[in-house]
Every structure is written in structure tokens, then in C-alpha cells.
Amino acid sequence: MTIEIDRVKHTRRALRRHFIETVLHEFDVERMKLDATRRKAKYATMQESPYRFFRGSAYLFYYDVTKIPSLYHTPEHKPVWIQGDMHMDNFGCFQNEAGDIVFDANDFDEGYVGSYLYDILRMSVSIALYADAEGRTPEEQRAFIREFTESYYEQLARFVAKKEDPSTLTFTEDNTKKPIAKVLKKLEKRKHNHLLADITYSNEQGERVFCFDDEVRPVTGDEAEQIQAVMRDYMSTLEAKHVPNADHFRIKDIARKYGSGTASIGLSRYYILIEGGQEAGGLDDLVLEMKEARPPVPAYFLPYNDAFWVEHTHQGERVVATQKAMHHLNDPYLGYTTIGDKEFYIRERSPYKKKVKQKDLVTDKDYKRTVATMGRVAAKIHTRADISESYRSADEILAAIDDKERFIHYVAYATFMYKEQVKYDYEIFTELVDSLQ
């Protein structure tokens, strides 16, 4: 009998391994076109922990969870604009158009339309895995998930009751608590040219250029020419008030950027140093980030939305539109362009970009305050980004949730069930990668 049980275990694991191998090949090789070197780099990052594996395998998450029905989904014919890859490291601080240092969602590459529940579940699983890596107990993890989910619900309720306005609500040092408020306060003291001092220098000719290292490297002559050629196309996607003159966008240097993110490994990404000027906060020079955009992972698994794709055919434009829909005040350099068959979005590489790190989350109170603010941000971006005038996303989400306590219990239950799946898949993934070397 023991032999038969062992065979059951072996078959279950073999089937899941085959599934994971198939999905990795389909997305990383067929869709992303990653060569062996770039796959190795991506998988090495994913092997660091179950949390990093989860960050780099959104396609596994969506394949699995979209097969599970739930009473808490919003109606298919009333989708919500979702962030698409909500996790602990996709929130952070930056400077908005008004010059304020704010805390908000900061990654919109996977923006799509579907049930809000996918954002909530993905975020909750990330909280559990993130805290698990720090040795936090299951009871503590449940408390953090409750804090996030309850904060999300209560912020939605305040919007619906018109006690707060999602179109103007921002999260600053004044309405957040430590550790987020502490990070925001530090950034207020940072000079605008802090980033320039870190990644550029003045050469012998007195020209500012990029410092090269393992993550910032020179571009080829062809790449430089192609980027120069599409700058006017990019400028045409900006609001007129954000294009003071052509000299403002004069390119001084270009570099290729490596090593950022997990799921983004393999996408073309560049830093572009431009002239800037007095319009750039009274300081000379600023850095633009140009990143390749691909169809969002949720689109492969969520219901196909014809109206969405008619309006957002360009993947760079889709990312830009998602951010503009979810943010109150945007980066004035947010635009998009195309090089050959690749579509890109462009934004300022903010010198104020910073996130709350694990070392900042010392106590339970630190965790709870941080995820509570993230819950409020999630509610804000879901409410702001209404995609139809015939219904309001916040109303539909609250109607789907109905009973707050039951919903919180459901999210925690689903989170812990899927957290164990991620850890199991991580073991298989590690064995699979090791066998390929």
C-alpha cells in the first residue's frame, strides 16, 4: 500500500512539473523570446525565495486562480480596471506632477480589465509570502492580510459614501504613518539631482554622461539612432503643456538598463539623459526610462474584452492609460512610442523613487500600518479607474463583497491555500532549473 501511495505522490508531482515546464516555455520562450542566458538570469532571481518566484510567475497564478469560481467576483459584464500584478514591491514613493512626494501603486505593466478580486488575492498571497520569509507566524500573516483587506473595504465604503474623493486623495507624509511616513520624510530632504549624482558624471569634455556598471551599460550605435529617431513621436503623445521646447528633450546620453524587477527580465529597457532645464524643477538634466511593453499576463486568462483592445491597441499606450486612470497627478513625461515591432512607454526615472523594504518592517505595527495604506491605495486605484459611465467600480465591488467579515475570512482562506501551492511549485521549479544546468 505504501508503494501505491508513493506512486500517487510521484504522479501528482510529475504532472505539476510538466505543467510548470510547459507554462514557463510558452511564456518565457515563445512569448517573451528569452534566450538561454536571459532565462538563466530570470530563473536565478526567481530561485531566491518563494516570494521572488511568485513575483516572476504571474502566469501560473492567473492560470490557477481563474479556474476557481467565487461568489466575490464582480460581474463579467461590469469589469474593473485592475493593476494586474499587485504585490508588496509594486507600491512605492515618487514625485507627482504637482511636485509632491507621494506613496502609491507604481507599476502598471500588467494593467487590464477584469474582477477586482484578482488584485486582492495576488496582493494577499504576496503579503503572506513576504512575511513568511521573515519568519512571521501564520497567525501574524493572517492579521496582516486582515489589515489589508479590511482597509481596502473601508476605503471603498468611504468613497461610495462620498466621505473622501478618489480623484483627489493622495498619500503623503501628512496622512500616513511609519514606516511609509518615515520614507516619505527622508525623500522630502533629497535633492532633485540625487539620481544624477548616482548614475552620471561629467566627462573630460564637461558633458554629463552615464556611469556604466553591471546594470547600466552602453547601447549600440543602431540602438542610439533608433531612440533618437522616435523622440518626436514620443513627444507627440505628451500633453502640450509638458513640451516646453525641443531643446528640453535634447538627448545627451543613452544607456541600456539591466537587472530591474523579476518578471521584467528580458524586456528592453533604456535610460535616456535629456537636457531638461528650468522647466525640470529649475535643475539641468533629467533621466527618462524607456521600457518595452508586452500584452498583460491577465489578458491571457481573463475574459477577452473587445472594447478595451479597440481603445488600447498599443501596449505602451495601455500602460500609460492605466497609470493615468489610477493616479490623480501623473508624471508629466509619461508617454509612449514604437521601435520596429517593439512598443514602449516612457516616464521620468524619478530621483524620489523608493519603497518600504523588509528592514523597515520591524514590528507587527509596522506591517499592519504599511499594508493598511496599501489597501487604501488599492481601493483608490480601483475606484478612480472607472471604465464605463454606466456603473461605478466601487459600487460593484462593495455589492460583490456584501458581508465584510465573510469576505475577509474568504481572502485569508484562499490566500493560505494558494501560498502552499506557491511553495510547492517553488520546490518543483528549483528542481527543474537545476536539472537544466
Q: Which tens digits make up the pLDDT trace of 204-252?
A: 888 889 999 988 999 999 999 999 999 999 999 998 777 777 788 999 9
Handedness of CA 185, 190, 192, 195 (dihedral sign): negative
User: Domain range spanning residue 321?
Assistant: 188-348
Output the 3-class SS for 300-340: HCCCCCHHHHHHCCCHHHHHHHHHHHHCCCCCCCCEEEEEC
| Mean pLDDT over each residue of the chain, to the nearest integer | 92
What are 378's three cell numbers?
Answer: 488599492
Handedness of CA 168, 174, 176, 182 (dihedral sign): positive
Q: Residue 313 falls within a domain, yes or no?
A: yes
Mean pLDDT of 310-316: 96
Structural domains counted in the chain: 1
Q: What is the pLDDT of residue 281?
A: 45
Q: Residue 329 falls within a domain, yes or no?
A: yes
Q: Residue 33 falls within a domain, yes or no?
A: no
Q: What is the pLDDT of residue 283?
A: 52
What are 323's three cell numbers?
Answer: 497609470
Mean pLDDT of 152-165: 97
Q: What is the pLDDT of residue 207?
A: 86
Sequence-distant (≥ 6) Cβ neighbours of residue 151 within 8 angstroms: 371, 372, 373, 374, 375, 376, 379
- pLDDT > 90? residue 31: no
Is 246 or 315 the better-scoring residue by pLDDT?
315
Q: What is the pLDDT of residue 352?
A: 85
Q: How far is CA 326 from the centre of its chain?
A: 13
Above pLDDT 90, what percent of the chain? 76
| Strand partners of residue 269 | 291
Q: Which of the 8 DSSP states describes residue 360?
A: G
**Range name among 155-164, 265-274, 297-306, 362-371 with the lowest pLDDT average:** 265-274
Q: Residue 398 falls within a domain, yes or no?
A: no
Q: What is the pLDDT of residue 35?
A: 87
Q: Are 90 and 325 in contact (CB under 8 A)?
A: no
Q: Residue 416 falls within a domain, yes or no?
A: no
- Is the preceding peptide bond at 295 cis, omega within 30 degrees of 0? no
Handedness of CA 142, 143, 144, 150 (dihedral sign): positive
Above pLDDT 70, what percent of the chain? 97
At 229, give phi and psi (nearest 5°).
-70, -25
The pLDDT-based confidence of 282 (bands split at 50, 70, 90) is very low
Q: What is the pLDDT of residue 277?
A: 66
- pLDDT > 90? residue 65: yes
pTM: 0.93
Mean pLDDT of 58-70: 96
Distance CA 295, CA 318 (A): 9
Q: What is the pLDDT of residue 214?
A: 86
Q: Residue 110 falls within a domain, yes or no?
A: no
Q: What is the pLDDT of residue 204?
A: 83
Mean pLDDT of 54-66: 96
The pLDDT-based confidence of 177 (bands split at 50, 70, 90) is very high
- pLDDT > 70? residue 280: no
**Range name among 9-13, 54-58, 170-174, 242-246 with the lowest pLDDT average:** 242-246
Mean pLDDT of 359-380: 97
Q: Residue 35 falls within a domain, yes or no?
A: no
Distance CA 377, CA 383 (A): 10
Q: What is the pLDDT of residue 1?
A: 61
The pLDDT-based confidence of 279 (bands split at 50, 70, 90) is very low
Q: Residue 218 falls within a domain, yes or no?
A: yes
**Torsion over CA of 248, 251, 252 and 256, rounded to 10 degrees?**
130
